[in-house]
Structure 1
Amino acid sequence: MATARNASHGSTTALLNFVALLCSIPVIGAGIWLSSKQDNECVHLARWPVVILGVLLLLASLAGFVGAYWNRPALLAAYFSCMAALIVILFSLVAFAYAVTAPDGSYAVPGRAYREYRLAGYSDWLRHYALARWPEIRLCLSASELCREIGRDRPYLTAYQFFHTELSLSR
């Protein structure tokens, strides 16, 4: 009875890891596609981390699949260790992102339909990071279609009309 239950858990683990293995392929493809976009400064930061994340996911899911399918405890132990490490890394990234953006830097401005944001309202680390990389950020913002899209969808004749318009892109 216990052997049949263990075989059932092994096949479920193998199936889930095979699906994860298949899902890692588009992640790697997206990273390769981002790395081929040499003209866009906005994706420069995400190029290789996406490829590396996809490869790590591929290797971990391959170890989990082989370990579960052929009942290799060493591979399963490596798989569980890798998954635990990936979960800890992801939680750490979420905590870091929250810590550097917790004060959101926004404040209400009388007579405006939107909130203003100032860099001084964010953490010291984020302020320093943004100021050190401002040329790249500026290039990214100027190359994006966002400003042209806002102007195309809502033509503004005066600054007053612009300042009193809700600027969210959700429609």
Structure 2
Amino acid sequence: MALSNNVIGAINFIAFLLSVPVIGAGVWLATEPDDSCVRILQWPVIILGILILLVALAGLVGGFCRIQWLLVFYLVAMLVLIVLLSCLVVFVYMVTVRGHGHPVPSRAYLEYHLDNFSGWLKRRVRSSYKWDSIRTCLSSTGMCPELNQSYRMAQDFFNARISPLQSGCCKPPTECGYTFINPTYWISPIDIAADMDCLQWSNDQSQLCYNCESCKAGLLASLKKEWRRADIVLLIALIGLIWVYLIGCCAFRNARTEDLFRRYKQGYT
């Protein structure tokens, strides 16, 4: 029984370590400018990681200190958390399946359309109330001004691989036919009816294309890229937790069997 409990404790220490990348993924998302403006995924990930850490700690204590009810709590609670983490991994994958950028002539960067993204993601930015706060947050970052420092010539900018956010929010859509002055200042559109965003563009450095559909699409494209990376981390942690949980269940069952056998022998003798 003691050996089995020690095994359970050691296994739960691995589960304890597996909570670290989950929490780390949430913290990383919280530090990204776009995620910090939207605040959708990072807190569920961080909270789930902390819960996994606490439950693993309970299993660790229960294993080494031979506290039976704590081990039972660990088995039930960890199963619930594994199911929740599995749902989160699948959910993130499903909402980020759609939403690819499309190339434009004579440009190295991609442009994005809001209709290409999943309905759930689009609803996060469709509301004017939600977008007003997101837009204010995005405009306070230095992502657009830094383009002016990096690219002086039009061809250099056209050959740049700028981020989805910069592509959607810091310049007008290419199909409008604006003339480049600098990355955030454009004049003389050829066809302002080509896209509604053509009318939304403003050379006011506090406005730019933050009211454009392309800016919302660029934000979702950026979120998709970061969420996919975080989802890979969560998937690896999930596989590790499932493996640890199954071994822990086997060790707990063996410990129970040893305990029953010991009691039977004591009663028999």
The TM-score by the shorter chain falls in which range? 0.5 to 0.7
TM-score of the superposition, structure 1-length normalised?
Answer: 0.68
Q: Are residues 18 and 86 of structure 1, via their aligned partners in 2, closer, same or farther at CA, if it must alter by over 3 Å?
A: closer
Gaps of 5+ in 1: 35-40
Q: Distance in 1 between matches of 2:5 and 2:134?
A: 53
- The match for 2:61 is 66
C-alpha distance in 2, partners of 1:83/1:120?
39
Residue 149 to residue 89, structure 1, CA distance change in 2 (3 Å): farther
Mapped contact 2:55–2:74 kept (Cα < 8 A): yes
Identity of aligned residues (%): 36
- 2:111 is the alignment partner of 1:111: no
**What's the offset of the Cα at 1:81?**
2.2
> Which letter does structure 2 place at the counterpart of 1:88?
V
Counterpart of 2:115 in 1: which secondary structure?
Answer: helix
Look up the match of 1:13.
Answer: 11
* Residue of structure 1 equivalent to 2:138: 141
Partner of 2:167: none
Bigger relative contact order, structure 1 or 2, given CA contacts below 8 A and separation 6+?
Answer: 2
Structural RMSD (CA): 3.5
In 1, distance between residues paired with 2:91 and 2:13?
Answer: 33
C-alpha displacement of 1:124: 1.4
Larger radius of gyration: 2
Q: Counterpart of 1:111 in 2: which secondary structure?
A: coil
Residue of structure 1 equivalent to 2:153: 157
**Alpha-carbon deviation of 1:6?**
1.6
* CA distance in structure 1 between the partners assigned to 2:118 and 2:41 by the alignment: 22
Kindly tell me the number of residue pairs found equivalent between the two proteins: 154
1:129 corresponds to 2:124: yes
5+ residue gaps in structure 2? 31-35, 164-269
